[in-house]
Amino acid sequence: MVSRVEQHHSQILKGVLDMCVLASIVEEPIYGYALIQKLEERGLAVPSEASVYLVLKRLTERGRIEHELVESDSGPARKVYSATDLGRDVLYAWEADWDAVRSGVDAVLSGARGAKGEP
């Protein structure tokens, strides 16, 4: 059974997963499984591999990323995802939104911590 903390974490992640996936692809072209590993190495607990592949599909359908098949030394060809110009522009807009949201949330949480006597 999923705990309330895990459910809350999952809800927060749903709101930012598209942005984090797109940011990782803007950083460098990457294939799906390596993308999941990269997100997890950076501390983002991905709810499931399927959720990342759904984001990749959605971003592709909306023209924010594209992919090409690249031969692999260790098995079948892989889809390597890269950002489009539209994807880069969208990411910059999302980053500005995120900065505003994070600032507001931080201010609210800071007030709550102050009410409890915490720094």
- Residue 6 falls within a domain, yes or no? no
What Å distances lie between residue 45 and 7, 16, 38, 48, CA to CA?
12, 12, 11, 9
How far, in Å, CA of 64 to CA of 89, rounded? Answer: 9
- Residue 65 falls within a domain, yes or no? yes
Q: Which tens digit of pLDDT belongs to each residue from 58-115?
A: 999 999 999 999 998 888 999 999 999 999 999 999 999 999 999 999 999 988 877 7
Q: For residue 53, how many other CB atoms are within 10 A of its CB? A: 16
The model's pTM = 0.85
Domain of residue 34, residue span: 14-115
- Residue 30 falls within a domain, yes or no? yes
Q: Which residues does residue 66 pair with via DSSP β-bridges, in sequence order?
A: 82
- Residue 9 falls within a domain, yes or no? no
**Per the structure, how many domains does the chain have?**
1
